[in-house]
Amino acid sequence: MNKAPIEISDAIVSDAVVVEHSRITGGYRRLSLRVPDIAAKVQPGQFVHLRVPHLRDRILRRPFSVFKAEGDELVVLYKCVGIGTDVLAYAPVGERISLLGPLGTGFPDPDPGNCPVLVGGGYGAGAMYMTAARSARPGIVFIGGRSAEDILCAEDYRQLGWELRVTTDDGSLGRRGLVTDALDEWLDEQTDDARLEIFACGPHPMLKAVGERAIAIGCRAWISLDRPMGCGVGACLACVQKIRSASGEWEYKRTCKEGPVFECRDICWEDEA
Amino acid sequence: MTAPDMRIEIGGLKMRNPVTVASGTFGYGPEYAGLIDLNRLGAITVKGISPAPVSGNPTPRIVEVPCGMINAIGLQNPGMEAFCRDYLPFFENYDTPVIVNIWGRSVEDYAAVARRLDGEELVAAFEINVSCPNIKEGSKAFGTRIDSFRRVVDAVRAVTAKPIIPKLAPQVASIADYALAAQDCGADGVSLINTIPAMAIDLATRRPILGNVVGGLSGPAIHPVALKMVWEVAGAVDIPIIAMGGICEAKDALDFIVAGASAVAVGTENFANPGAALQVLDGIEEYLKANGMSAIDELIGSLQT
């Protein structure tokens, strides 16, 4: 149960205009939207709830994490994974798209005393870009995917001056293996684990594995979760996640409101198949 | 032309207009307070409250299907004491009546919540949830067995003089029988329909998609089903009806009103369009003006058959 219910969010509904929409690689796309009143307010790790135009008999909004928010515009990266994103892929420049946002509790700013470590899988790599751009110091980013076409945002992080490690399951780009293999290798070389601070977004098995590393070495890890979502504003209680409470028990917290970002020690992963 | 009179009454519940929101789709109020003017709603219907806190069903709790969604939230709620302490004071800032949806696992539970909330001035009326398809014990049977249904309505009636509005389950042979029973037990109105029991399967894993296996279908898919039931109930009882089921726009709400509903509740559509309830309200008013009606009363039950 949520202890601080009486908080009115500053999220709004606004008609965004598509200013650029392009295929990046594989089934991944980059959608740039002009939506000044939301773009100005987005914080790192927050998301927008998007109503896909022309979706006909599919009625719910879809949540998208924000990749970049600059000036009047924000950018989301997505992969065509179902009917919503398949239809969204046809949205032309100039199309109006209803956005609800910004939503959720995102990543905290990296502690300037720590070395920030980002771990991203697939389009999750984009969700930490704003954190990197705001960081007082550059850190290291690990990006993993099945194949070369699943590696996104590498150049964006490089341009920020961040060290980059890429892994692919098939070895078609970077090191062959899981992103956590590369992370383990790098962690082994570090001398002061407690001064690291991890930020992660990607598939749940990856996030769980990253959280386990953070707990083992004694550093913090901020994990961005993706859950089936209804309203996006905390009303429907569909997107809940078991979160450890002070008493050692757990309680359901809303991924759309208290999340999507949680510290790894607070997440109860027992639901995961 | 002057604005039509949109006021309606359900027992002692005075609404400035016939549009409310469906329980469970609007949280406890604050969730949408930054997005729409809550003072424009006819009433706010909050999420179901039980005597003790309930953590709800395992996840996933929601799945989208053509023209709707299936939910199995499991009535997660903070319990009646925390509701009164943490949530209810929010409504001091508004002059919109609050309808509290109440439920329990026993007849005594229903009476306990109604008794506790009866003393709260900010609670304008009770919607009695006898029909949530997502609770394994008790509550479901109260909506689909007429003797149990009567016992719940009687028990709530005995502990409160505030308006009580049982919310009817659609999965019964004759929904009008339940509406008549409600009227007979002293209910001030009825609301209908609750979600329709449903399920969805993931063929990749051959497992149910919902953590609870089954859930309740809502959204535009159920509107024609709800409309037929509202029409049946309107022909059977004299007490007012709050109609719900797949309202997306004013036309859907007007259908219900013409069929005999005095009020309407916007539910699932709030998720897609937080402004939906107010747009429905504007559309109803425009329809009345366009058809030269001076009051909503002229439209209620005006169906020609």
Note the CATH architecture for domain A12-103: Beta Barrel (2.40)
B264 lies in a domain? yes
pLDDT of residue A1: 42
- Beta carbons of A7 and B275 less than 8 Å apart: no
Point out which residues pair with A201 in neighbouring strands. Answer: A120, A224
Partner residue opposite A1 with nearest CB, options B78, B219, B269: B78
User: Is residue B63 domain-resident?
Assistant: no
The fold of the A115-271 domain, in CATH, is Rossmann fold (3.40.50)
Question: Between the CA of residue B238 and those of A205, B48, B233, what are the distances in Å?
Answer: 57, 26, 9
- pLDDT, tens digit, for every residue of A50-90? 999 999 899 999 999 999 999 999 999 999 999 999 999 99
Residue A247: band (very low, low, confident or very high) from pLDDT cuts 50, 70, 90: confident
C-alpha closest to that of B101 among B193, B171, B13, B164: B164
Q: The domain containing residue B150 runs over which residues? A: 8-56+73-196+218-298
Does residue B212 belong to any structural domain of this protein? no
Nearest to A251 among B34, B55, B73 (CB): B55
Q: Is B301 left (phi over 0), alpha (psi -120 to 50) or beta?
A: left
Give residue A58's identity as a one-letter amino acid code: R
Would residue B128 be called left, alpha or beta, if left means φ above 0 and alpha means ψ between -120 and 50 degrees?
A: beta
pLDDT of res. B149: 94
Residue B90 falls inside a structural domain: yes
Whether complex ipTM tops 0.90? yes
* Closest alpha carbon within chain A to B246: A59
Q: Kindly state the tokens that stand for A267.
A: 């997440």
Structure confidence at residue A129 (pLDDT): 97
- Give yes or no for B268 touching A (CB within 8 A): yes
Does B3 map to a domain? no
Are the Cβ atoms of A235 and B55 closer than 8 angstroms?
A: no
Encode pLDDT of A166-178 as tens digits.
Answer: 999 999 999 999 9
- Report the C-alpha gap between B214 and B197 in whole angstroms: 7
A110-141: pLDDT as tens digits: 999 999 999 999 989 999 999 999 999 999 99
- What average pLDDT does this structure show over B121-125? 98
pLDDT at residue A3, rounded to an integer: 46
Give the CATH number for residue B84: 3.20.20.70
Q: What residues 167-196 of chain B have any CB closer than 8 A to a CB of chain A? A: none
Is A12–B86 a contact, with Cβ atoms under 8 angstroms apart? no
ω before B166 within 30° of 0 (cis)?
no
Q: Is the pLDDT of residue A210 over 70?
A: yes
Question: How far is it, in rounded angstroms, from Cα A143 to Cα A268?
Answer: 25
Catalytic residue IDs of B? 132
Read off the pLDDT band of A2 (50, 70, 90).
very low
Residue B151 placed within a domain: yes
Residues B174-224 pLDDT 10s? 999 999 999 999 999 999 999 999 999 999 999 999 999 999 999 999 999
Residue B206 falls within a domain, yes or no?
no
Task: Give the domain ranges of chain A.
Answer: 12-103, 115-271
Q: Does position A271 have pLDDT exceeding 90, yes or no?
A: no
Closest CA to A179 of A220, A137, A150: A150
pLDDT, average across residues A184-194: 89
Residues 204-263 of B with CB under 8 A from A: 219-220, 248
Mean pLDDT, chain B, whole residue set: 95
Is B64 in Cβ contact with A58 (below 8 Å)?
yes
Q: Which amino acid is at B2?
A: T
Nearest one of A212, A227, A247 to A63, comparing CA atoms:
A227
pLDDT in the model for residue A147? 96
- What 3-state class would DSSP assign to B109? helix
- Measured CA distances, A137 to A142, A187, A263, B215 (Å): 16, 19, 21, 49
Instruction: Name the band, by pLDDT with cuts 50, 70 and 90, for residue A246.
Output: confident
Q: Is B25 on the interface with A (CB under 8 A)?
A: yes
Q: Is A272 a residue whose pLDDT tops 60? A: no
Q: Which residue has the higher pLDDT, B138 or A25?
A: A25
Query: Tens digits of per-residue pLDDT, B244-270?
Result: 999 999 999 999 999 999 999 999 999
Is B131's pLDDT higher than 90? no
H helix or E strand, kind and range, residue A33? strand A28-34
Q: pLDDT-based confidence at B139, cuts 50/70/90?
A: low
- Nearest to A34, CA basis, from A64, A70, A62: A70
Q: What token pair was written down for A206?
A: 């990856």
pLDDT at position B42 over 70: yes
Number of domains into which chain B is organized: 1
Q: What's the pLDDT score for residue B136?
A: 54
B26 Cβ under 8 Å from any chain A Cβ: yes
| Residues in B touching A5 (Cβ below 8 Å) | 28, 30, 86-87, 90
